[in-house]
Amino acid sequence: MSMFGFRISPSSTIDLDKVDRNRFKKLCALEPDASKCMACGSCSATCSASEFSGMSVRKVLLCLQQGREKEAYAMMSSCMLCGKCLMVCPRGINTRHLILSISRIYGKEESI
Amino acid sequence: MNEIVVIIGGGIAGLEAARQLLALGHSPIVIEKSDHLGGHVADWHKLFPDMKPAKDIVDELVSSSKDANIFLHTEISFINRLKDRYNIMLSNGISITSRYILFTTGFRLFDAAKKEEYGYGVYNQVITNQDLEKWFNTSKDSRIDNSAMKAVGFVHCVGSRDEKARNTQCSKVCCITAIKQAIELKEKFPDAEIYCFYMDLRLFGKKFEDFYIKAQRDCGIHFIRGRVSEVSENIDGKVIVKAEDTLAGRPMKVTLDLLVLMSGMVCNPDSTRVAGMMSLPIDSDGFLRSTDNVSRNTVSPKNGIFYAGACTGPKTVPETLAEARSAVLEIHNSIISRR
Amino acid sequence: MIYQGKQKIWSDYQKEIPDDHWYYVRSCIRQNFFPGSERMFLEICRNVLGRDFHETEHHTTCGGIAYHCDTIPQETAMTIVARQFALMTEAGYENYVASCITSFGNYTEILETWHEFPELETRIRELLWKACRKEFRKPKYLAHTSDLIFKYRNEIAEKAVHHLVNKETGEPLRVVEHIGCHYAKMFPSKGIGGAEYPYVLAGMVEAWGGNVIDYPERRHCCGYGFRQYHIKANRGYSVSNTYKKFESMEPYRPDMIITNCPGCPYFLDRWQYVIAETEGKTYGQNGYGIPVFTYEEVAGLVLGYDPWDLGLQLHQVAVEPLLDKIGIPYVPEDKYKGLDRKEIMRPGLPQNLKCY
């Protein structure tokens, strides 16, 4: 590999053909509002953890829908469950229940 | 009291106007270029937000305007202005003299083939919103394979909000139409993954947002904020769509069994042609220009000429019907004030 | 795929190309990359088809590479181009044909810019006069050399000795066509067939008996770029693009690739070696890779020229499997002999990519 001093870069493309949606479907069964996010960003703007850790409920949901589960779970581990996002969400998503549900479904899986 | 009013276009605006004019005791004459009444709505299957069959609306309008004088297969050959009225020569050789002309010439669907990168007419699995509605009505379209519907995409804003396509305007109804059609397809193919590629979701109308929430929550339709940039075909004849997920800031691709292009509304060239005969002004968006876009949208700058519906810009069905009534009221008031 | 749909688009992008009397300019890099190609272009146009192509040793680069690498401003590129036009004017020609895609794009961009901003053209005329006391007329017609071979494709087919057909099976060869980005992406109306579904190479392939493959990443750049390759740190990104194209075309099992740009055939050819050595991945049959050709080389093969006279020994990916497939005769021992019939040096062989 070092013979050229460069090599093929990994692709950043999100390939929707390869997304395994099983866990997200389980999540929607537990918390049907998981698919109701419209990406307004109110949750991240008000989040106590956001500015120090990059935590964002909006991004967590986006990542989970794209199969980027590790990324989402790592982000979510900074949540302090203060409930501010629950207060501001215009779609009335029960973010507290959502986060606990994510933890239940994705937390068990060592593979992610 | 009885006055002849020439209505150019037998779509829903023309029919609604004819019905209201009849109710007020006037004599509408409807000139329709095609062989049927109802315009674009006649090709549609169901209408948002209550999923009312389009056929019901058209049938109601046709039956309640049947006493009007209706010419099908007829075009305007020329119009010239006499002292206080217009002489309208029709392609069937008949000439009409009238003080009032109502334009209900509507829109034309943007020709999706102009967006070459989407491959309409080149790739088998790419269709338009209109093709899909026709398929809902007839179940006939060789491009739609019932047995292989695992993934479907909708591209919003095809030929709308597109300076390169020379249409900067939003076509208004495509967002809600895409969501409606996505839900209808999901109901037909519950196992299919359905993706809507949008730039903004413009869901302004009554119950439109409810449709969006239903699509997300109950139907699991995926909304991807990003405009499709390129469509190609893979070796299995499926289409591959490239877009950016702008919320994730990353490129994205997906393989689909069907791609539906939400063709927007552009001004009907027939309206521009007829408007040209009377030197009526065209607005910067290519549609006919009203005297005032806030308070006098159904009134042209020329005496006796009125507009209703999508000839002045993209509109929904209820907006079009409301404008037809509004234009009729303007015409009626003008008739009364003359005597 | 709806072939008629493509035909409709092709008919929308027609381009007027005069049949004869052209002022010809070479590319900076093609003579090193694919040395037989430009010679073969003149050979075919002048000696096989009897057309008038004028060339002068006084012409220079068009400045395109430096312009695209951000090392000279556009005004400098424009003045260089103005001088080229002055040479054409002095020679008494009004049809200008460039061998390089980026030159063609550069000339097109400059002519369009002058059309939109005539004051800039006036200024460039002044600069040229100050610099070298030359004046010029703008070309009446501007073409890329692939436009000309496209125009002559049926004449070439009439004289063809070989066709793009597998001699064993009688099946047309599966051909990937790759168009240089600067051919039509900047000005779709200036390319034959437009930018989304260009017809310039597809038309040649069809006329000479092959089948064109339309694969998902067909429109993607070959990966060359300018700054991407020229700076070593960026080369991984360059080869990544090439890799993406090969991964996309692989399922179609292409027999060959035809290109119309100086950089594309080079990188589609050489990067197959790098991909093979770094990733262990080879394309094409039996680990030999997919051979890549310029359109002049393909025209030369079709017309029956000796593969080694076309310079095919300078390709990285072995061309022999394709020559055998078509049934083009060649003498293996002559591959590395120079024009004086003496042995020139032989290249070292790669580990993973099989070569002759």
Nearest to A66 among B216, B220, B248 (CB): B248
Q: Alpha-carbon torsion B110, B116, B117, B123, what sign?
A: positive
Cβ–Cβ contact A80 with B under 8 A: no
Cβ–Cβ contact A17 with B under 8 A: yes
Distance (Å, rounded) from C-alpha A81 to C-alpha C71? 55
Closest-CA distance of chain C to residue A73, Å: 30
**Chain C residues whose C-beta sits inside 8 Å of any chain A C-beta:** 232-233, 235-237, 239-240, 243-244, 274-275, 277-279
Cβ–Cβ contact B121 with C under 8 A: yes
Closest-CA distance of chain C to residue B122, Å: 5
Looking at residue C230, its pLDDT comes to: 80
Cβ–Cβ contact B250 with A under 8 A: yes
Chain A residue closest to C278 (CA)?
A: A1
CB within 8 Å of C18: residues ≥ 6 apart: C95, C141
Looking at residue B53, its pLDDT comes to: 97
Rounded to an integer, the average pLDDT of C103-111 is 96
Residues of chain C found within 8 Å of residue B121, distances taken between Cβ atoms = 2, 5, 8
Q: Report pLDDT digits (tens) over B313-322.
A: 999 999 999 9
Distance (Å, rounded) from C-alpha C154 to C-alpha B67? 64
Cβ–Cβ contact B222 with A under 8 A: yes
Q: What is the pLDDT along chain A (112 residues), one digit of tens a residue?
A: 457 888 899 999 999 999 999 999 999 999 999 999 999 999 999 999 999 999 999 999 999 999 999 999 999 989 999 999 999 999 999 999 999 999 999 986 554 5
Chain C residue closest to B253 (CA)?
A: C216
Residues of chain C found within 8 Å of residue B234, distances taken between Cβ atoms = 215-216, 251
- Domain spans in chain B, listed from the N-terminal domain onward: 4-106+268-338, 112-265
Q: Are C207 and C301 in contact (CB under 8 A)?
A: no
State chain B's mean pLDDT as an integer.
96
Q: Is residue B1 over pLDDT 70? A: no
Q: What tokens were used for C205?
A: 């392939």
Rounded to an integer, the average pLDDT of B192-206 is 96
Contact B123 C251 (CB under 8 A): no
Contact C214 B233 (CB under 8 A): yes
Percent of chain C scoring above 90 in pLDDT:
89
State chain C's mean pLDDT as an integer.
95
Which subunits count as partners of chain B given 3+ CB pairs below 8 Å? A, C
Angle at which helix A22-30 crosses helix A57-65, to 10 degrees, equals 130
Closest-CA distance of chain C to residue B114, Å: 9
Residue B157's alpha-carbon distances to B106, B162, B200, in angstroms, are 19, 8, 9
Residue A70's alpha-carbon distances to A18, A39, A64, A76, in angstroms, are 15, 20, 9, 10
CATH number assigned to the domain with residue range B112-265, chosen from the 4 options 3.40.190.10, 3.40.395.10, 3.50.50.60, 1.10.510.10: 3.50.50.60
Q: What tokens were used for B278?
A: 């009377």
Residues of chain B found within 8 Å of residue A36, distances taken between Cβ atoms = 213, 216-217
Percent of chain B scoring above 90 in pLDDT:
96
CATH number assigned to the domain with residue range C161-334, chosen from the 4 options 3.40.50.9100, 3.40.50.11810, 3.90.1530.10, 3.90.280.10: 3.40.50.11810
b/e sequence C270-305, b meaning 16+ C-beta within 10 Å = bbbbbbbbbeebbbbeeebbbbbbbbbbbbbbbbeb
Looking at residue B113, its pLDDT comes to: 96
User: C339 or C248: which carries more pLDDT confidence?
Assistant: C248
Contact A16 B247 (CB under 8 A): no
What is the count of residue pairs from A and C with beta carbons less than 8 Å apart?
A: 29
Looking at residue A108, its pLDDT comes to: 67
* Residue type for position A64: L
Q: What is the dihedral of CA B202, B207, B213, B216, to 10 degrees?
A: -70
- pTM of this prediction exceeds 0.90: yes
Q: Alpha-carbon torsion C96, C97, C102, C103, what sign?
A: negative
Residues of chain B found within 8 Å of residue C5, distances taken between Cβ atoms = 113, 119, 121-123
Q: Is residue C338 over pLDDT 90? A: no
Q: Alpha-carbon torsion B112, B113, B117, B121, what sign?
A: positive
Q: What tokens were used for B5?
A: 């009013």
Contact B255 A91 (CB under 8 A): no
What is the count of residue pairs from B and C with beta carbons less than 8 Å apart?
A: 41
Distance (Å, rounded) from C-alpha B310 to C-alpha B268? 9
**Chain C residues whose C-beta sits inside 8 Å of any chain B C-beta:** 1-2, 5-6, 8-9, 194-197, 214-219, 251-252
The residue among B216, B221, B240, B256 with the most chain A CBs within 10 A of its CB, best to mutate, is B216
Distance in angstroms between the alpha carbons of the first and the last residue of chain B: 9
Looking at residue A1, its pLDDT comes to: 45
Distance in angstroms between the alpha carbons of the first and the last residue of chain A: 29
b/e sequence C66-82, b meaning 16+ C-beta within 10 Å = bbbeeebebeebbbbbb
Cβ–Cβ contact A29 with B under 8 A: no
Cβ–Cβ contact B123 with C under 8 A: yes
Closest-CA distance of chain A to residue C277, Å: 8
Q: Are B106 and B311 in contact (CB under 8 A)?
A: yes
Q: Is residue C69 over pLDDT 90? A: no
Looking at residue A57, its pLDDT comes to: 96
Contact B116 C214 (CB under 8 A): no
Distance (Å, rounded) from C-alpha C213 to C-alpha C204? 13
Contact A35 B251 (CB under 8 A): no
Distance (Å, rounded) from C-alpha B160 to C-alpha B158? 5
- In this structure, whether the domain defined by C17-145 belongs to CATH 1.20.1050.140 is answered with yes
Nearest to B248 among A28, A33, A62 (CB): A62
Residue A12's alpha-carbon distances to A9, A15, B248, B295, C280, in angstroms, are 9, 9, 11, 51, 22
Looking at residue C70, its pLDDT comes to: 85
Rounded to an integer, the average pLDDT of C289-301 is 98
Contact C216 B124 (CB under 8 A): no
Q: Report pLDDT digits (tens) over C231-244.
A: 888 889 899 999 99
Q: What is the dihedral of CA A35, A36, A42, A45, to 10 degrees?
A: 0
Closest-CA distance of chain A to residue B117, Å: 19
Cβ–Cβ contact B164 with C under 8 A: no
User: B2 or C78: which carries more pLDDT confidence?
Assistant: C78
Cβ–Cβ contact B240 with C under 8 A: yes
Q: Report pLDDT digits (tens) over B233-287.
A: 999 999 999 999 999 999 999 999 999 999 999 999 999 999 999 999 999 999 9
Contact A9 C233 (CB under 8 A): no
Residues of chain C found within 8 Å of residue A11, distances taken between Cβ atoms = 240, 244
Chain B residue closest to C247 (CA)?
A: B234
Contact B252 A16 (CB under 8 A): yes
Q: What tokens were used for B148?
A: 């292989």
Looking at residue A4, its pLDDT comes to: 86
Helix runs in B167-235, H state only: 174-188, 208-213
Cβ–Cβ contact A52 with C under 8 A: no
- Domain spans in chain A, listed from the N-terminal domain onward: 22-107
Domain B4-106+268-338 carries which CATH code?
3.50.50.60
Q: Distance of alpha carbon C149 from its chain centroid, rounded?
A: 11
Cβ–Cβ contact A39 with B under 8 A: yes
Q: Report pLDDT digits (tens) over B124-173.
A: 999 999 999 999 999 999 888 878 899 999 999 999 999 999 999 999 99
